[in-house]
Amino acid sequence: MTRPNFALSKIWIALTLLAWPISSSFSGDAEGLLRIFAGFKGQQGLDYNTDGNIDHLDIFAFSLDWKSDFTFLTEASPKNGEAGVAITRETILRFSGPLNENTVTTQSVFATFAGARIPGHVHLSPDKQTVTLFYNDPLPPSARIRVTVDGNRLKDATGSPVDPDHNGKAGGRKNIDFDTLSLTTLPGTSVFGRVFASEQAPAKGGVQSVDVPLEGVRITVDGAENTLFTLTDSLGNFRLEPAPVGRFFVHIDGRTVTSGQVGGVTVETSFPDGYYYPFVGKAWESHAGREADIGNIYLPLVTPGSLVPVSESEDTVIGFSQEVLAQFPELSDVKITVPADSLYSDDGTRGGMVGIASVPPDRIPGKLPEDLKFPLVITVQTNGPTNFDVPVPVCFPNMPDPETHQPLPPGAKSALWSFNHDTGDFKIQGSMTVSEDGQLICTDPGVGVTAPGWHGAQPGSEGDGGDADGQCEEGSKVEGGAIPKASSFGPISVMAVGRGRYRFSVPPPSEPGSIQWLFPNLPVRIVNDTGIMAEVAYCAAGHKEVLATFTPDCGEVVTITESVEVTEQELGDREINLTVTGS
């Protein structure tokens, strides 16, 4: 069926009414027409000009008010079809217009797994165009999650039902399906590295500076904080074993460190009022049955007085602490402006403390992508809350470019980049402009930091990436940068053969390499290690996972997962059989 042209419909209705002869019986015709058109639009009222009569004048007023587009869903995060989603990630939905806050409930926006509702709560932004669905507990791993937007319940600011699927008709439902990552562990799978302070200290008896290892840093796997964790030793070393297979998310908590060094002098640390090392999130990648070197991780020492309480009634301007400015007075105009009542926690608690610190780009928690050359990284820290309702404007120092050794000229454009902890990479937040005196580079109106974390300024745009120089040598150390060619691997297709037997397959990879199938806690005999298909007979009912690892000749190893629910009814033979068919 051809979608109606709403603009032409509007003109047709108006012109028809101008030529329509008025008769004594027209009020009945008018009411009938209004019920048809207003019902399509999702409105109930019929007396549009509020003159007490329902007649041709109301139809004419309605035709002028007709809009070609209803409020619709413009963006969802995670996206429909997205895989490898962190189980601690919230769902963010953005709409084309403001919503009626009374209709933003867990009845109009909700998530399900295996047909059951996932407990959570919704948050509506101050502009009423963004809905965030927070979950009470981590999402189940290796699961297909469905988020539903019910346009019959969710209304816009005018009281009209929204058009979530953007089909030009009010109401209806929009489903967003995404897959969470696996937390499956295998013996021999581990990640290791070292954690240092971003600030170096003078070497004993010498003039050179040396790295300061941080002892007692707690590293936890998101969603399994009480079972998958490790601590750094006195040399800053850590090993997480076992580790989840493939990509997973962690948090590195420097607040558990008991001391730091300032100019070679040891100081006690105390969060949030004293010196402390921050709490940061990262995405890591492991290799099944092997160890992966994460490399060096650097945490900056946040100075006392950095965290400032934010106001509920007025904007709060935050700069560097007095201790930092005493050492670097040229940073006195660097600031962020936290809008009134914009900071909140996942549980809905509003308010808190915010501060900033500067870090050299080669002394941050993870390696910058090859195409990002920040002259300085600014970290925005809080005492716990992780969300800003509206973008937080920032002004960074306009420092010389690391490659050209020249700052941007006054009026030049740049971009604000922020590390997205939900996806594990840097994203552009919006545009920035160099001040008239050339000293600062500030975000343009409506642009700013949307979450605490790591931020920098650099002209450019986001792209699909490609092989970064030296990526084959860097291996698992590449973080948040170019997407390796191996990322096209997958997905896993599942076919139930019967009697507990399942056939798993993947499309042939676009790049040369080898495929390995892994079935946790199940004996497997690999016939061909480049096979694109594996078949297995399960011996017991329950939730079963399968992992496929692709090792390209050049690029990062990619592991993808799938799962099945095996029931007692479908089980047959108890003997395990596995065949792998090569490509």
pLDDT tens, residue by residue, 505-552: 888 777 777 777 777 655 444 333 346 777 777 777 777 777 777 777
Q: Which of 318, 338, 283 is nearest to 476 (CA)?
A: 283
Higher pLDDT, 443 or 421: 443
Residue 469 confidence class, pLDDT cut points 50, 70, 90: very low
Q: Per-residue pLDDT averaged across 3-29, rounded?
A: 47
Q: Per-residue pLDDT averaged across 233-259, rounded?
A: 96
Say how many CA atoms lie within 13 Å of 200 toward its Cβ.
11
State residue 578's pLDDT score: 43
165-172: long-range contacts, CB 8 A cutoff, minimum separation 24: 165/72, 165/73, 166/72, 166/73, 167/3, 168/3, 168/4, 168/6, 168/69, 168/70, 169/40, 169/70, 170/40, 170/41, 170/42, 170/70, 171/42
SS3 of 259-325: the string is EEEECCEEEEECCCCCEECCEEEEEEECCCCCEEEEEEEEECCECCCCCEECCCCCCEEECCCHHHH
Tell whether the model's pLDDT for residue 249 goes beyond 90: yes
Tell whether the model's pLDDT for residue 245 goes beyond 80: yes
State residue 425's pLDDT score: 87
Torsion from C-alpha of 400, 405, 409, 411, nearest 10 degrees: -50
In angstroms, the CA 206 to CA 14 distance is: 87
Tell whether the model's pLDDT for residue 309 goes beyond 60: yes
pLDDT tens, residue by residue, 349-370: 999 999 999 999 999 998 888 8
Among 54-63, 345-354, 476-485, top mean pLDDT goes to: 345-354
| Domains, the chain | 6-65 (no CATH), 73-179 (2.60.40.1220), 190-299 (2.60.40.10), 308-457 (2.60.220), 486-582 (2.60.40.10)
State residue 353's pLDDT score: 97
State residue 308's pLDDT score: 96
In angstroms, the CA 203 to CA 411 distance is: 44
Residue 465 confidence class, pLDDT cut points 50, 70, 90: very low
pLDDT over 70 for what percent of the chain?
78
Contact 446, 391 (CB under 8 A): yes
State residue 50's pLDDT score: 64
φ, ψ of residue 331 in degrees (nearest 5): -95, 15
* Least reliable range by pLDDT among 125-139, 145-159, 387-401, 534-548: 534-548
Query: What residue ranges in 367-412 does DSSP mark as E strands?
Result: 377-382, 387-388, 394-397
pLDDT tens, residue by residue, 141-185: 999 999 999 999 999 999 999 999 888 788 999 999 999 999 999
DSSP 8-state secondary structure symbol assigned to residue 21:
P
State residue 169's pLDDT score: 82
pTM for the model? 0.71
DSSP H or E stretch at residue 57:
helix 56-65
State residue 16's pLDDT score: 52
Torsion from C-alpha of 430, 435, 436, 439, nearest 10 degrees: -150
Q: 244: cis peptide before it, omega within 30°?
A: no
* Least reliable range by pLDDT among 64-78, 312-326, 350-364, 461-475: 461-475
Chain centroid to Cα 536, Å, comes to 35
Tell whether the model's pLDDT for residue 49 goes beyond 50: yes
